[in-house]
Amino acid sequence: MRLHQKGELSILRDLKEKFNPLLKRKDSGIIVGIGDDAAVFTCPNEKILVTTDMMNEGVHFDLSYTSASQLGFKLVSVNVSDIYAMGGKPKFIFLNIALRGDVSDEFFWDFFDGISIANNIYGLKLLGGDISSTINDMSVSATVVGVGQKIIKRSGARIGDKIYLTNSTGDSACGLEILKKLSSRGRNIIKSYGFGIINKEKRQQKWLTLNNTNSKNIKLDFNNAEPLIKRHLMPVVRYSEEINEIGTSMIDVSDGLFIDLLRVCDESGVGARLYLDRIPISKNLKYACKLLNLNPYKLATSGGEDYELLFTAPDGIYPFKDVVSTPANSSSKQLSITCIGEIIPNARVVIALDGTELPLRAEGYQHFGS
């Protein structure tokens, strides 16, 4: 069935039936959930954080290689990432979705399945939203409400602080490059990816073949390509109590490592020195870049959508150049933290692999950028 055959009232009734029963927990502070003119909740003695992020078809996602559930999952993750990046914990989510009338019922509920899976991982409750029809492209947006005690802003970096990055960046951008080169068969396999369950077709698949316009096709080992693609399509974002305790400033790397670090510098009124040889490159990124003829450092420093945390902390907390691993929340296996540079008075520079000092340029994604 198509959405325009169902009508808004019936859709909203189904949504209410699906999500309101999850709100029963007494300690959640929820007074009114889905179904009234506004949601109502209490958050006594806590600071309240609110963030919103939208995703537009053709700009943020491409339905030829993204399933509805992957889209829903990612929408929640990117919003939660902003709450984590402030040191908060997400609690409630609101969704605004604009869909074409010819979208199937199945697509709609798959999208909400992705939302539900993410909500479970992050401990979120859906409290409301809006639905609208649209003539052309789809647009989905979420607003997440979180709570926190110690808030970590972009503006807290101090001269002498070390700069740290969780895990590694560049995987998502590389995943996107792979997705764009996939044949329609490959795209359909990726779209059939669920969450956690091992896909049958994937198991039989050893290689992923990419179309290459100039030369012969490229074959990537599925085991290496899959984590990169997943990082792009279904990012799981991380929370760390430890970072919250020591961080002086923090940002989630959504547009690119360099551009996001420069935002911290601007807000804090400081400079930064990064060491390229300390920027972690995952083994999968290394592997794929070699075959795709891409520069892994370029992707790690200017590729977007990894949603890792970039933070500063006073010197001496972690030994310089050391990699510290701490167990993260249930949604991720391990969180590794690498020191990649330091905060200095004014200059924003990067020490290249050959030791030369180069200016740190705002490379990364900008809407309305040239």
Residue nearer to ligand ADP on the CB measure, 129 or 341: 129
Q: From the CB of 354, what's the least distance to Mg ion, in Å?
A: 58
Is residue 93 a contact residue for ligand ADP (CB under 6 A)? no
Interacting residues with ligand ADP between 128 and 157 (CB under 6 A) = 128-131
Is residue 126 a contact residue for ligand ADP (CB under 6 A)? yes
Residue whose C-alpha is closest to residue 95's, from 144, 133, 39: 144
Q: From the CB of 248, what's the least distance to ligand ADP, in Å?
A: 37
Residue whose C-alpha is closest to residue 86's, from 237, 231, 266: 237
| Burial (Cβ within 10 Å: 0-12, 13-18, ≥19) of residue 46 | middle
Binding segment toward ligand ADP, per CB under 6 A, in 33-41, 46-54, 58-66, 231-239: 33-41
Distances from the Cα of 8 to the Cα of 13, 16, 244, 308, angstroms: 9, 12, 42, 37
How many CB atoms sit inside 10 A of residue 258's CB? 22
Q: How far apart are CA 7 and CA 26, in angstroms?
A: 33
Residue nearer to Mg ion on the CB measure, 6 or 153: 6
Is residue 34 a contact residue for ligand ADP (CB under 6 A)? yes
Question: Which of ligand ADP, Mg ion, none interacts with 179 (beta carbon under 5 to 8 A by kind)?
Answer: none
Q: How far apart are CA 341 and CA 348, in angstroms?
A: 11
Q: C-alpha angle 173/177/183, rounded to 5°?
A: 145
Q: How far apart are CA 25 and CA 364, in angstroms?
A: 42
| Bridge pairing between strands 271-275 and 334-344 | antiparallel
Q: From the CB of 27, what's the least distance to ligand ADP, in Å?
A: 22
Question: Which of ligand ADP, Mg ion, none interacts with 131 (beta carbon under 5 to 8 A by kind)?
Answer: ligand ADP
Question: Which of ligand ADP, Mg ion, none interacts with 299 (beta carbon under 5 to 8 A by kind)?
Answer: none
| Bridge pairing between strands 323-327 and 357-359 | unpaired
- For residue 157, report the phi and psi dihedrals to the nearest 5 degrees: -70, 135
Sign (positive/negative) of CA torsion 87, 173, 255, 317? positive
Residue 251 contacts residue 310 (beta carbons within 8 Å):
yes
Question: Which of ligand ADP, Mg ion, none interacts with 95 (beta carbon under 5 to 8 A by kind)?
Answer: ligand ADP
Residue nearer to Mg ion on the CB measure, 8 or 102: 8
Total residues contacting Mg ion by CB under 5 A comes to 1
Is residue 130 a contact residue for Mg ion (CB under 5 A)? yes
Question: Which of Mg ion, ligand ADP, none interacts with 35 (beta carbon under 5 to 8 A by kind)?
Answer: ligand ADP
Residue appearing with tokens 């990612």: 74
CA atoms within 13 A on the CB side of 53: 18
Binding segment toward ligand ADP, per CB under 6 A, in 29-37, 64-72, 279-287, 295-303: 29-37
Is residue 35 a contact residue for ligand ADP (CB under 6 A)? yes
Q: From the CB of 126, what's the least distance to ligand ADP, in Å?
A: 6
Is residue 8 a contact residue for Mg ion (CB under 5 A)? no
Residue nearer to ligand ADP on the CB measure, 117 or 126: 126
Total residues contacting ligand ADP by CB under 6 A comes to 13
Q: From the CB of 76, what's the least distance to ligand ADP, in Å?
A: 12
- When binding is defined by CB under 6 A, the residue of 6, 12, 14, 281 that contacts ligand ADP is 12
Residue 175 contacts residue 233 (beta carbons within 8 Å):
yes
Where do contacts with ligand ADP occur on this chain (CB under 6 A)? 12, 15, 34-37, 95, 97, 126, 128-131
Where do contacts with Mg ion occur on this chain (CB under 5 A)? 130
